[in-house]
């Protein structure tokens, strides 16, 4: 399966490639990766990376690698995640080391949400965020998402569900 890249003014959003692994493994080794199962060692990061590839093949969509146009570096991941036990499709994001606080996740998430609504025909999206991840909560709110409810994942993790505005509300 190949999905053509999505673009913004500053970013290319594309399916991950093996060259993206080092940046992801570095991020997953950090404490701030706790919202996506980290921190973890390189071997566990490889399994997570392979899971992201598998999600594309199982669901037909997944997390895009975020490439910064000006540097060509992988700046993070943004896209869709819908594992077994999730209440619905989630839109998630991560900004890798050195790319936090630059507006990259916001720019990428807006474009991916537009793709979900315009190209995939979806009518709703949620973001599932750990209660102490204040940066992601602020980003979700900046995107117009509203707190909907508390939720406990199938693995027992407490989270908050933020509902993104419907397509008609953001046009």
pLDDT of residue 1 exceeding 70, the answer is no
Q: Which residue has the higher pLDDT, 38 or 4?
A: 38
Helix (H, G, I), strand (E, B) or coil at 1: coil
Give CA–CA dist 147/128, Å, rounded: 10
Instruction: Note if the bond before 39 is cis, omega within 30 degrees.
Output: yes
What is the per-residue pLDDT across 41-93, written as a single tens digit (0 to 9) for each? 999 999 999 998 899 999 999 999 999 999 999 999 999 999 999 999 999 99
Instruction: Evaluate if residue 168 carries a pLDDT over 70.
Output: yes
The 10 Å Cβ neighbour count of residue 156 is 6
Residue 146 has pLDDT above 80, yes or no: yes
Q: What is the CA radius of gyration of the chain?
A: 15
**Domains detected in the chain:** 6-170 (3.40.630.30)
Tokens of 17: 């490639």
Run of H or E including 161: strand 158-163
- 104 neighbors 13 (Cβ within 8 angstroms): no
**pTM for this structure?**
0.93
- Residue from 162, 165, 55 nearest 113 by CA: 165
Instruction: Give how far the C-alpha of residue 20 lies from the chain's centroid of Cα atoms, to the nearest Å.
Output: 15
């Amino acid at each position: 399966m190949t999905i053509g890249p999505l673009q913004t003014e500053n970013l290319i959003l594309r399916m991950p490639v093996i060259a993206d692994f080092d940046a992801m493994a570095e991020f997953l080794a950090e404490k701030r990766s706790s919202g996506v199962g980290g921190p973890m060692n390189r071997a566990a990061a490889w399994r997570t990376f392979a899971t992201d590839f598998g999600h594309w093949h199982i669901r037909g969509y997944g997390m895009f690698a975020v490439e910064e146009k000006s540097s060509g570096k992988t700046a993070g991941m943004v896209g869709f995640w819908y594992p077994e036990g999730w209440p619905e499709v989630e839109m998630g994001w991560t900004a890798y080391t050195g790319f936090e606080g630059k507006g990259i996740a916001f720019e990428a998430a807006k474009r991916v949400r537009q793709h979900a609504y315009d190209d995939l025909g979806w009518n709703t999206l949620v973001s599932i965020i750990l209660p102490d991840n204040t940066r992601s909560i602020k980003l979700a709110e900046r995107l117009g998402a509203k707190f909907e409810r508390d939720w406990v994942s199938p693995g027992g993790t407490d989270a908050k569900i933020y509902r993104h505005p419907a397509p008609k509300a953001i046009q």
